[in-house]
């Protein structure tokens, strides 16, 4: 009897043990898979260098197609890896006709590889026209993709690498197919100066000396935005046009005339004004990257300095690109609704009636690439594009790096974007905050001679509004 009872006990213990191990097996946590925040942001820094090199020489790309490309590059990268960002939402449902491929949460991905393939896919398509004109720069796209792939192949398995590459390409393709439907934007760089019947008369924009170039991107205001509503895309009305010497419009023109004259005569404070004007210009194709890309160049310096993780980098560059994209739409819609003439036209025609020498006024913007002097960008003055891009980019940067646990106040930094350049005064400048960046970038257009102050003030406001609308999208759960 004791033997039987002992056997029963052994069987019971064995049964309990089996159940225990089965239970343990059922609740066993699967092998940890790396999420996006466990990687660094170096993949963005490397791809942004390629973008800035291409942007410098991309004919027809500035000013609208540049932020448009940045917006879609950042957005595609975000949608491709957001499944690996706990606490974040996909934004795909926010946009009709956008079909992001489904994601298998049971599988592991190497997130930098996903971004590498997404950027490579879209960069080839956004800059396809440079394959013939600047093959050495265009080839950097594939060179960068292959170099990063070789690095990432050492960090993961062939299976995960292949799956991650497919994810990046599939999402990039979906975003590109969606972008193709935006007819006002898609490949618009191939025809940046379509026929445009500009209004004529005093106060209205007209082609400016010395090149008398036709209007650029007069219909860019029809481009789709990511976050800015249609009813918010028009700037406030400019100061009423007047030729009365006592008017505010006249006073703003006199400010431009006086500051440019002071620079050319090396007057008091002219060194600082000239430095600021040249430091923020970024106007000349073939010389520097474009004004909207400048904000990405600034962001890269801070991302590298702060060594931020990939999750933060994904969010930052998506928000930055989308805000710059929306800003370009609002700014250019406003330019061609109001059609405000440039200071050079007003000064030579109106100020010269009181100051005869003003009839020979020229800006401080010179083009060392083709030797042209006293250039003015070929589109209406109000509002300032530089100022809008600066306002948008600065607000996005502030949302990440100011008044946070790491930086409880404003963020002071030195901008080295043009360090060691010799064509102009490229000495690095130290800024006390991102708002300081926006304001100084905006002001720079006055002593350069290409904008009235009202253009700059409204540009910053409109840029900040576009950034705010992007920040208000449902990024977090």
Percent of the chain exceeding pLDDT 90 equals 92
Cα separation, 205 vs 378, whole angstroms: 9
* Residue 159 contacts residue 108 (beta carbons within 8 Å): no
Rg of the Cα atoms in the chain: 27
Q: In the numeric block, which tokens belong to residue 436?
A: 């300081």
Q: Are 368 and 284 in contact (CB under 8 A)?
A: yes
Task: Retrieve residue 90's tokens.
Answer: 């996909």
Hey, which bits of 68-143 come out as E strands?
Answer: none
User: How far apart, in whole angstroms, are the C-alpha atoms of residue 117 and residue 169?
Assistant: 6
The dihedrals phi and psi of 175, each to the nearest 5 degrees, come to -70, -40
| Cα–Cα distance measured from residue 69 to residue 146, given in angstroms and rounded to the nearest whole number | 22
Token pair belonging to 371: 């030797």
Q: How far is CA 118 from CA 1, 82, 105, in A?
A: 74, 13, 19
Task: Report helix, strand and coil shares of the chain as percent, to nearest 5.
Answer: 60, 5, 40
Sign of CA dihedral 204, 209, 211, 212: positive
Kindly state the tokens that stand for 125: 């398509």
Element (H, E) at 122: helix 111-126
Task: Give pLDDT, residue 136.
Answer: 97
Task: Find out whether 215 and 204 touch, Cβ atoms under 8 Å.
Answer: no
Structure-token pair, residue 152? 């990432």
Phi and psi torsions of 413, nearest 5°: -155, 165
Give residue 33's pLDDT: 87
pLDDT digits (tens, 9 = 90+) for 354-402: 999 999 999 999 999 999 999 999 999 999 999 999 999 999 999 999 9
CA atoms within 13 A on the CB side of 322: 26
With a cut of 70, which residues of the chain have pLDDT below it?
Answer: 1-32
pTM, 2 dp: 0.93
Domain ranges of the chain: 36-187+196-471
What SS3 class is residue 431?
strand
Residue 260 has what DSSP assignment?
Answer: H
Could you give phi then psi for residue 290, rounded to 5 degrees?
Answer: -80, 165
312: left (phi over 0), alpha (psi -120 to 50) or beta: alpha
In three-state secondary structure terms, 88 is strand
SS3 207: coil
Question: Is domain 36-187+196-471 given the CATH code 3.30.160.270 in the classification?
Answer: no
């Amino acid at each position: 009897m004791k033997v039987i009872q002992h056997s029963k006990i052994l069987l019971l213990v064995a049964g309990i043990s089996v159940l225990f191990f089965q239970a343990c097996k059922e609740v066993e946590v699967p092998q940890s898979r790396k999420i996006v925040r466990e990687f660094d942001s170096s993949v963005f820094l490397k791809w942004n260098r390629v973008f800035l090199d291409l942007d410098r020489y991309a004919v027809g790309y500035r000013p609208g197609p540049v932020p448009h490309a940045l917006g879609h590059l950042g957005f595609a990268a975000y949608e491709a890896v957001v499944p690996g960002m706990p606490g974040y939402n996909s934004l795909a449902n926010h946009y009709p006709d956008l079909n992001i491929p489904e994601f298998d949460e049971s599988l592991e991905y190497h997130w930098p590889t996903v971004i590498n393939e997404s950027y490579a896919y879209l960069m080839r398509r956004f800059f396809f026209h440079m394959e013939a004109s600047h093959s050495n720069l265009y080839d950097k796209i594939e060179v960068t993709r292959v170099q990063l792939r070789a690095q990432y192949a050492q960090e993961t398995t062939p299976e995960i690498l292949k799956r991650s590459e497919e994810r990046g390409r599939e999402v990039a393709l979906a975003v590109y197919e969606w972008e193709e439907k935006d007819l006002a934007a898609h490949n618009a760089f191939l025809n940046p100066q379509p026929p445009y019947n500009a209004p004529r008369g005093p106060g209205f924009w007209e082609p400016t000396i010395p090149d008398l170039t036709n209007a650029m991107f007069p219909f860019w205001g029809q481009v789709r935005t990511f976050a800015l509503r249609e009813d918010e895309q028009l700037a406030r009305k400019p100061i009423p046009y007047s030729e009365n010497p006592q008017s505010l419009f006249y006073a703003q023109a006199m400010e431009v005339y006086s500051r440019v004259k002071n620079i050319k005569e090396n007057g008091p404070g002219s060194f600082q004004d000239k430095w600021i004007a040249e430091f923020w210009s970024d106007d000349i194709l073939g010389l520097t990257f474009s004004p909207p890309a400048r904000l990405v160049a600034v962001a890269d310096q801070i991302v590298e300095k702060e060594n931020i993780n990939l999750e933060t980098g994904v969010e930052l560059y998506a928000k930055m690109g989308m805000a710059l994209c929306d800003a370009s739409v609002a700014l250019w819609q406003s330019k061609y609704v109001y059609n405000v003439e440039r200071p050079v036209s007003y000064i030579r025609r109106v100020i010269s009636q009181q100051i005869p020498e003003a009839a020979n006024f020229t800006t401080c913007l010179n083009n060392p690439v083709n030797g042209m002097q006293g250039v003015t960008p070929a589109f209406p003055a109000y509002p300032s594009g530089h100022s809008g891009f600066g306002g948008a980019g600065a607000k996005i940067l502030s949302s990440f790096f100011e008044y946070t646990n790491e930086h409880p106040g404003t963020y002071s930094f030195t901008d080295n974007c043009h360090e060691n350049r010799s064509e102009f005064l490229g000495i690095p400048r130290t800024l006390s905050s991102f708002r300081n960046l926006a304001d100084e970038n905006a002001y720079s257009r006055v002593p350069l001679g290409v904008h009235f102050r009202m253009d700059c003030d409204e540009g910053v406001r409109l840029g900040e509004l576009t950034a705010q609308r992007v920040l208000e999208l449902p990024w977090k759960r």
